[in-house]
Structure 1
Amino acid sequence: MRARWLINLFLLVLVAGVASFLYLRPQSNEQGTPSFELSDRKIGDFSRISVEEPSRAAVVFEKVDGYWHINKPYKARADQAAINRILSIVAARTTERFPAEDLGRFGLDKPRLSLKLDDQEFLFGTFNPVNEQQYVAYAGSVFLVENTYEQYATTQIVELIDKSPLRPTEKVVGFDFSWLEQWQELALKLERAANQWQVSVAGAKPEQQAVQEWFDAYWVRPLASSVEPYIPNRQAEHPTFQLKMQDGSKVQFEKLQESPELLLGRPDEGMLYHFPMDAGFAMLNPPAGIKP
């Protein structure tokens, strides 16, 4: 009897706990205060971004021919998706708006961050201790927004560089690997014409599907594991190879290292790209259909 009584008591407490949870849980926003966007501007409206923090030099991005580039502290192609995340502050949703008075209360008398999108300025203050959202001043008001927007804007600059060694507008139609050690004797070149890959080596019988799969996997939009600024050493000699583009232009890369990772330098843009060793090997060794 005592055991049954204890079981009944446990079940009663459990039911009471569930009932309390259902009663006290936060209601969905559909039943609460409606949310609204900070701004009526759109991500595509802007052409210049400035990120300023008290502790480091300003970072500036500019849109050129439809693509974002890092302008300061150095020049480089930017990761387009990462820049769009910075711009997403204009679409941030909030349910809280305060007059821009007594800014010290929100940590906005000395902002942690100033984010300027063209002439629109967003100032970032302290965090609300209850919901961990952040106070942001914009257009004469103070708002509470998710704390991810500051994280997007303060990402380390090297992480905002485009990880592709190719520009979005560069379309590869040929390869000249003849200066690489493994291909010097054969002077290997590949070129695509009329949707067919041609190999320069006599007697080569490339399987079109295999070459195309290699090209799609490693050269349509190759992404490095990391990238960093690079100053070519004119005193050093490194193996090189060239890519031919659809418009007839050529891009040269320097192979600085192939193990334990492939390091490719692009001198014309001053960038160094890191690739895993297996992917790097595949990039420079196409299935050209060459018999031993």
Structure 2
Amino acid sequence: MSPVVRTNWILLATAVLLGAFIYAHQKRPPAEYIPITDMDTARIEHILIRRQNKPFAELRKNDAGWINLRSRAPVTDQAWIGNLLHIARLPSLHSFPAAGQDLQAFGLQPPRYQLQLDDSPIHFGGIDPATGLRYIQVEERIHLVSDSYTHYLLRMPDARTPGS
């Protein structure tokens, strides 16, 4: 067998093995991410939103639904409440211990926003410039999560969204 033919067979075998590896890798189930908290959102009865460490909105659940404690009016936008509660179950795409970290560098000291669900605070920091993910601190861990829910912390409870 000539060296050229042997090289072609080696290249063909390498291409087939590489193709088989890629095919097998694509068939793997997607990684299961762990949520940032283990809270049961159906049991949450109190929501407090702080912006720049100042109370912004406070809600309490009663038999009739959610009440805005500032205006004493019922909160009619249940989708907004659902999105706030869903933040507790956001998947952590990456996490690391907060101990020994410069929290100010992550925008977590002081936090930009704080969502307190019952007695559990969730601190929202800055955005990682490389990934576009938001830094969130829950207890003693810093998580990187999708930034698709932060805008719900900017709304007043009685504000209407387009289409609602």
The TM-score, its normalising length taken from structure 2, stands at 0.72
- Segments of 5+ residues of structure 2 without an aligned counterpart are 1-21
Bigger radius of gyration, 1 or 2?
Answer: 1
Question: Which structure's relative contact order is higher, taking Cα pairs within 8 Å and 6+ residues apart?
Answer: 2
Q: Structure 1 residues 38, 66: CA separation in 2 closer, same or farther (over 3 Å shift)?
A: farther
**1:154 maps to which residue?**
154
- The match for 1:144 is 144
Matched residue, 1:105: 105
Which of residues 34, 40, 43 is equivalent to 1:42?
40
Letter in 1 for 2:74: R
1:98 alignment partner AA:
F
What does 1:235-254 align with in structure 2 at a 5 Å threshold? none
Rounded to whole Å, the distance in 2 between the matches of 1:75 and 1:47 is 15
Tell me how far apart the structure 2 counterparts of residues 70 and 160 of structure 1 sit (CA, whole Å): 14
Matched with 1:81 is: 79
In structure 2, do the counterparts of structure 1 residues 28 and 88 end up closer, same or farther at CA, with 3 Å as the change threshold? farther
Q: Displaced runs of 4+ in structure 1, greater than 6 A?
A: none
Unpaired segments of 5 or more residues in structure 1?
1-22, 162-224, 227-292
Q: Partner of 2:125 in structure 1? A: 125
Partner SS for 1:124: strand
Classify 1:28/1:102 alpha carbon distance in 2 versus 1 (closer, same or farther; 3 Å).
farther
Residue 158 to residue 85, structure 1, CA distance change in 2 (3 Å):
same
Q: Which amino acid letter does the alignment assign opposite residue 148 of structure 2?
A: T
- Map 1:1-292 to 2 at 5 A: 30=29, 34-54=32-52, 57-72=55-70, 74-78=71-75, 79-100=77-98, 101-159=101-159
Count how many residue pairs are aligned between Structure 1 and Structure 2: 136
**Contact 2:53-2:110 within 8 A present in 1 as well:** no
Please, what TM-score do these two structures have when normalized by structure 1? 0.42
